[in-house]
Every structure is written in C-alpha cells, then in structure tokens.
C-alpha cells in the first residue's frame, strides 16, 4: 500500500510540473487536480499497566460491501500501535483489559479530527460514551 501511495503522489507531482511547463510554453493554463489523500496515520496508545484487547468498528466501506473494521488488536502495557485508517471515517473503538470480560469500554472518534487516541480502562462507566 505504501508503494502504491508513493507512486500516486509522484505521478500527481509529475502532472502538476508538466501542466505548469505546458502552460509556460503554450499560454494555456491547464491544471491537473491532484488526487485527494484518503488515508492517514493514527496512533492508539495504551496508558494502562494491563494488556488491552481492541476492536475498531466503522460503517465506512473499503470495497463494495467490505467494511474498514480493524479487529483483534492486542496492545501491550504502556505501548502504542500505529495504523493507517480512512480519512473522515467515524470509528467506535471497543477495548477491554481482560480477554473474556463481559463489557467493553467504548470511545467514538472521527479520523478527520483525531490523530492519536489514549486508551485507559476504567475511565468510562458502562453505558457512557465519550468523544476522544
């Protein structure tokens, strides 16, 4: 995925340079619109002394009928995980510190506004929802 994105960025830069050189010689201003970036890096940070089990669920589609859910992340104590997520997707992050815990804690985020999410169990009471 990284090589594909790098290739697309280089191609966009090449089109912009070619359009500006063409405009210089012909006098016609033809501007190539660069492709919008649709993904961004996001970081999950475990601020607890326990291992966290994390699931990220969204209604954002990847292809046809496949969702961009990220499931079964195991986050060791005081560690962080970096991932690539779609820009502008709303994720419900469910996490717990015991594998067979009956209730998950929930945080709702929008990837257009949030770059890193700190997870610490016990901050959220059952039934409450916060926006990180």
- pLDDT tens figures, 15-32: 888 888 888 888 777 665
Q: Does residue 88 register a pLDDT over 80?
A: yes
Q: Which CATH architecture has domain 39-131?
A: Sandwich (2.60)
As a whole number of Å, the end-to-end CA separation of the chain is 28
Q: What is the pTM of this model?
A: 0.62
Res. 125: pLDDT tops 80? no
Using CA atoms, how far residue 92 sits from 31, 32, 99, 100, 108, in Å, is 39, 37, 19, 19, 5
Q: Structural domain boundaries of the chain?
A: 1-35, 39-131
């Amino acid at each position: 995925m990284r090589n594909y994105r790098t290739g697309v960025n280089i191609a966009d830069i090449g089109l912009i340079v070619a359009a500006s050189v063409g405009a210089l010689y012909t006098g016609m201003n033809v501007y190539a619109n660069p492709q919008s970036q649709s993904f961004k890096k996001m970081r999950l940070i475990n601020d607890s002394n326990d291992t966290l089990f994390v699931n990220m669920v969204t209604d954002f589609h990847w292809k046809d009928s496949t969702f961009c859910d990220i499931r079964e992340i195991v986050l060791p104590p005081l560690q962080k995980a970096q991932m690539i997520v779609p820009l502008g997707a709303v994720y419900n992050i469910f996490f717990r510190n015991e594998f067979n815990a009956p209730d998950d804690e929930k945080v709702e985020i929008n990837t257009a506004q949030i770059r890193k999410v700190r997870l610490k169990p016990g901050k959220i009471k059952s039934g409450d929802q916060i926006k990180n």
